[in-house]
């Protein structure tokens, strides 16, 4: 029934038992994320993007000193989150159009990127950028690509192909793909939205046979300087403020005329 539903309807159906399925983010991933973020904290207010049943609270409780808000569009998942964590605030909204502006110091997301087509990521990331205060951080773990010799590689490839066929012949679509959000593409979309992007290895989650980490934590930081309306992020950071321009003009006129303008 879930597979033949929309994404929203499917998660409403799955919500009562979601925390007992393999789809819930494991505590090990949550703890590794918290450990990676700890040197950057403490943080003030936190935002869980696509919060589901509220597993991300495990991260926020050890890092954030302010109010925590979770956003999801599944009523069923939010009901479970509200029941498990009544001290947080849970908001039903489409995360591609987040209803916040400069309200949070830390935003996280777990296991949600596969629910967005590549063309939808810019709107998602732009909304998170707007929701963060200057200097705020958007963080999420991302797995390394599986080698072609791995059974997981073929399992994920088969799943994505099956979903593409399903969505081509059945409506409404259920968007869930494992191979549409590689690190380089996600990094490019984040950078285009104005973030400065770095990654750190989550070594607690193990290494691949070649020694590289199985997971990395993506850290996307909003610029510390507020943007000037109408300018691209990088241009806004380097362009002088109107007050500075006025001050420079006055000094120039003083030197030229010997008296203030």
- For the segment 133-180, what is each residue's pLDDT rounded down to a tens digit? 999 999 999 999 988 999 989 999 999 999 899 989 988 888 888 899
Same domain for 261 and 186: no
Cα gap 71→124, rounded to integer Å: 12
Q: Is residue 1 included in any domain, yes or no?
A: no
Same domain for 219 and 236: no
Same domain for 205 and 92: yes
pLDDT at 226: 57
CATH of the domain at 62: 3.40.50.150
Q: Three-state SS for 220?
A: strand
Same domain for 245 and 191: no
Same domain for 242 and 206: no
Which has the closest alpha carbon to 141: 47, 256, 26?
26
Identify the H or E element spanning 48: strand 46-49
Same domain for 181 and 130: yes
Identify the H or E element spanning 76: helix 75-84
pLDDT at 254: 35
- For the entire predicted model, the pTM comes to 0.83
Q: Is residue 74 included in any domain, yes or no?
A: yes
Instruction: Please measure the distance between the N-terminal and C-terminal CA atoms of the chain and give it in whole angstroms.
Output: 74
Q: Is residue 19 included in any domain, yes or no?
A: yes
pLDDT at 219: 98
Same domain for 88 and 15: yes
Same domain for 214 and 98: yes
Same domain for 146 and 238: no
Same domain for 241 and 158: no
Residues of the chain with pLDDT under 70: 2-4, 225-261
pLDDT at 49: 98
pLDDT at 257: 34
pLDDT at 96: 93
Domain count, the chain: 2
Q: Is residue 2 included in any domain, yes or no?
A: no
Q: Is residue 14 included in any domain, yes or no?
A: yes
Within 13 Å, how many C-alpha atoms sit on residue 220's CB side? 27
Which has the closest alpha carbon to 160: 147, 174, 170, 143?
174
Same domain for 31 and 15: yes
Q: Is residue 154 included in any domain, yes or no?
A: yes
Same domain for 136 and 257: no
Q: Residue 202: which domain range? A: 7-224
Q: Is residue 194 included in any domain, yes or no?
A: yes
Cα gap 87→67, rounded to integer Å: 9
Dihedral angle over CA of 18, 214, 105, 82, nearest 10: 10
Q: Is residue 33 included in any domain, yes or no?
A: yes
pLDDT at 53: 96
Cα gap 57→51, rounded to integer Å: 9
pLDDT at 225: 67
């Amino acid at each position: 029934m879930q597979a033949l539903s929309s994404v929203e309807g499917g998660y409403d159906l799955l919500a009562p038992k979601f925390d007992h399925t393999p789809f819930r983010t494991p505590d090990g991933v949550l703890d590794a994320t918290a450990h990676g973020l700890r040197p950057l904290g403490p943080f003030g207010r936190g935002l869980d993007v696509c919060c589901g049943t509220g597993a991300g609270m495990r991260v926020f409780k050890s890092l954030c000193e302010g109010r925590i808000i979770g956003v999801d569009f599944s009523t069923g998942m939010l009901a479970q989150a509200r029941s498990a964590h009544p001290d947080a605030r849970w908001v039903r909204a489409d995360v591609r159009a987040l209803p916040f502006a400069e309200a949070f110091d830390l935003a996280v997301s777990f296991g949600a990127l596969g629910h967005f087509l590549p063309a939808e990521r810019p709107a998602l990331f732009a909304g998170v950028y707007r929701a963060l205060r200057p200097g705020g951080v958007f963080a999420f773990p991302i797995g390394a690509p599986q080698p072609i010799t791995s059974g997981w590689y073929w399992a994920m490839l088969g799943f994505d192909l099956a979903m593409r066929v399903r969505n081509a012949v059945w409506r409404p679509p259920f968007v869930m793909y494992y191979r549409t959000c590689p690190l380089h593409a996600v990094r490019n979309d984040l950078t285009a939205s104005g973030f400065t992007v770095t990654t750190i290895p989550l070594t607690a989650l193990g290494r691949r046979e070649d020694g590289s980490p199985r997971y990395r934590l993506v850290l996307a930081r909003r610029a510390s300087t507020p943007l000037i309306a109408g300018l691209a992020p990088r241009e806004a950071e380097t362009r002088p403020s109107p007050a500075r321009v006025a001050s420079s003009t006055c000094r120039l006129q003083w030197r030229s005329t010997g008296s203030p303008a």
